[in-house]
Amino acid sequence: MDNEGYLDEFVTWMEVKGYRPGTIRQYTYDVRRFLRWLDKDAADATPDDVWRYLTHLRRKRGLADRTLLRRIASLRTFYRFMEQRHYVEQNPVEVERPRVRRALPSVLTREEVERLIEAAGDDRSRLLLRTLYVTGMRVGELCELTWDRVNLDDGVILVRGGKGGKDRVVLIDPQTAGELRALKEGVSDSNGRIFGVSPRTVQRIVKAAAERAGIQKRVTPHTLRHSLATHLLEAGADIRAIQELLGHASLSTTQIYTHVSTRHLKREYEKLFRTRVRSGA
């Protein structure tokens, strides 16, 4: 079997395993780039080949730690497939995961979110940005969202096959539900995708709106997700409830927003002194 044959079978293997479409596309892209660089049968790759490739990416291409981490994950998964299918005896991806510094996410203020939404080019784009913000969905989840998963009466959306293949429920406010209902009235396929766009298109919509709104921060679709989490925390929402809404597997992932929200930090700080005043300390 040639390398394209391995890749085709790898895609099928990931689909059977329940990998998300976006992950399948990304892993396939990463592995294909490695195999082009390798320039020999994938089954003949050695740990030294993998190490030299990653060194090439870091020194010659200057890839960031997070990107390098994803490339390692892609190759490790591919060779786990090769090992399970008995195309190789041992997974050659032996490198350790690089240490990645967890940077604080960039967030928008509520006023900036309103400006961003209003600066979208048309009503449909404004509703797309609003839905992305109020639900906290990942961009891929929004793009795959279909009408049959939305309960406009209860203000609930079922997100199927989120990160890690998990389903979860997210919420929408009455205004967004009303705007979605108006959009649905003009739709012929009541089970089709709501917005029918790709993640790349959403990225362009967000970037263009940020420029028109005069927002100087770097704004991506994920910025709206970070912003919702921070605003909920500032409003006093329970951090475990935020974890459920965002679909984080670990509470520690959600807790990064406690570092972002200076208003929340100030509120918690002031509790100490209110307690001291009441106790007469």
The answer to the question of residue 272 being in a domain is: no
The answer to the question of residue 102 being in a domain is: no
For residues 100 and 70, is the Cβ–Cβ distance under 8 A? no
CATH number, domain with residue 73: 1.10.150.130
User: What are the tokens at 144?
Assistant: 């795959």
Is residue 136 located within the same domain as residue 201? Answer: yes
Distance CA 171, CA 278 (A): 38
Please give the helix or strand (H or E) that residue 53 lies within, else none: helix 47-59
The answer to the question of residue 278 being in a domain is: no
| Confidence category of residue 104, pLDDT binned at 50, 70, 90 | low
Is residue 155 located within the same domain as residue 225? Answer: yes
Q: What is the mean pLDDT of the chain?
A: 86
User: Residue 74 contacts by C-beta under 8 Å, 6 or more apart in sequence?
Assistant: 26, 27, 30, 31, 34
Domain count, the chain: 2
- Predicted pLDDT of residue 273: 73
pLDDT in tens, 254-275: 777 766 666 656 665 676 676 5
Catalytic residues: 138, 163, 222, 225, 248, 257
First to last CA, the chain: 77
pLDDT in tens, 233-258: 888 888 888 888 888 777 777 777 76
The answer to the question of residue 93 being in a domain is: no
User: What are the tokens at 9?
Assistant: 């079978």
Expressed as residue numbers, the domain containing 151 is: 110-267
